[in-house]
Amino acid sequence: MVDYTKTFIRGADISSLHELEKLGARFYDNGTEQDLLDILKSYGFNYIRLKLWNEPYDTDAAGRKIPYGAGTNDLETTIALAKRVMAHGMGFLLNFHYSDFWADPGKQILPKAWRHLDCDSLAQAVYDFTRETLLALIQEGVKPSMIQIGNEVTNGLLWPYGKKPDLPEDIHTPRSEADEQQYKNIARFISAGIRAAREIDSAIPVMIHLDNGGNNVMYCDWFDHYMKYGDDFDIIGLSYYPFWHGKMKDLIFNMNDMVKRYGKYVIIDEVSMGFTMEDYETYEKLSALQRKGMATKPALVAQIEHEMTKEGQCLFMQDIINIIRSVPNGMGRGFFYWEPAWLPRPGSEWATPAALAYTGEAGPGGNEWANQALFDYDGNALPALKVIRDMK
């Protein structure tokens, strides 16, 4: 097991890999085709993060499963990927979403099988699902090195029961009883997952993960409430995407403040940076109406501190690593680059029509992330990988 307290994490979330490989994605380093994990390990990566969805399928009239896409990360897929990770001697962070599809600040949708449950039963369901999943992984020889309870739970989880109230204009305004109950529910659901994990193996470190890593007011409000009502944990995980989450100075301040206030290790649990603004439409082979296009819209990119070029991506990663290392007392423990290998291949979309029906979103589909990978559109390793390897 990779000990995060002693080893700086150079991590990646490659949850879409199994799907990408089935669709023909290939990866190259210096012109030679290699397994993605071999390439990442050669560039110093020592940890892999894998997301887990409860049941990322619908069922048609004939009883066939209709996948939700974006990796369709059910337990079977997670076990298969985790075995490859551990065969490479890398750490394995298991990322529970507690949803059948993406869980993030904009949506925390109840799993289909849990829709009839009340608040008490949901807490029990989180406990049972966490426990049963970990037992299944251990039986397969892939016990996680770290566990993340919920994904970007900035606005809570398992809506509507655990939906975080909006922040008041004055953060010191006393909260209503109803607001406090929502914070209690959030803490109760997360604590149920933590309790299950601790009972299986108390030595496995546990992370709680929010987005918007530069928003100190939000982090303080969230963790002040959680600390009143929730079980103990080990790591605060932050997402930091520069086109959404503020300036680097804000990230630095927030990470340092989290350590000072709460005494927890901090890890940038999701981070990425674009290497180009050149479109990849010809690679996806979708019509304009079928593809959502790049998340890095020009208006957002105009506000960031680095250029969206290969050189800009290198400089960004240098800065990110230096920021983490600057956290006092060695409490900054590393990063996970989000989907560095999500190539724009036909069929690999962030959501299928079945998934959109589950979330209630309009779509369209396609790949939003290919220009932020650590490989170009043809699967060739980019210079930022050398930066990650060589930063001491």
Phi-psi region of 265 (alpha: psi -120 to 50; beta: other; left: phi over 0): beta
> 322 is written with which tokens?
């230096």
Active site residue 169: no
User: Which residue, chain included where needed, has tokens 């892939």?
Assistant: 142
Tokens at 377, concatenated: 């559109």
- Cβ partners under 8 Å of residue 7, min gap 6: 46
Chain centroid offset of residue 12 CA: 9
| Candidate list 21, 33, 140, 270, residue with the active-site label | 270
Q: Which helix (H) or strand (E) holds 18?
A: helix 17-22
Beta bridge partners of 207: 148, 235
The answer to whether 270 is a known catalytic residue is yes
Task: Determine the straight-line distance between the first and last CA of the chain, rounded to whole angstroms.
Answer: 22
User: Cα 298 from chain centroid?
Assistant: 24
How far is the C-alpha of 358 from the C-alpha of 290, rounded, in Å? 18
Q: Helix 119-139 vs helix 75-87: angle between axes, to the nearest 10 degrees? A: 40
- What is the Cα–Cα distance from 184 to 186, expressed in whole angstroms? 5
112-118: Cβ within 8 A, 24+ apart: 112/55, 112/358, 113/54, 113/55, 114/54, 114/158, 118/161
Percentage helix, strand, coil, to 5, in the chain? 40, 15, 45
Residues contacting 367, CB < 8 A, separation 6+: 280, 284, 291, 342, 343, 344, 345, 348, 349, 350
Which is the catalytic residue, given 21, 33, 132, 152?
152
Q: How many residues does the chain have?
A: 392
CA dist 368 and 347 (Å) reads 13
Q: How far is CA 371 from CA 257, 281, 296, in A?
A: 32, 11, 8
Q: How far apart are CA 244 and CA 251, in angstroms?
A: 12
What residues are labeled active site?
152, 270
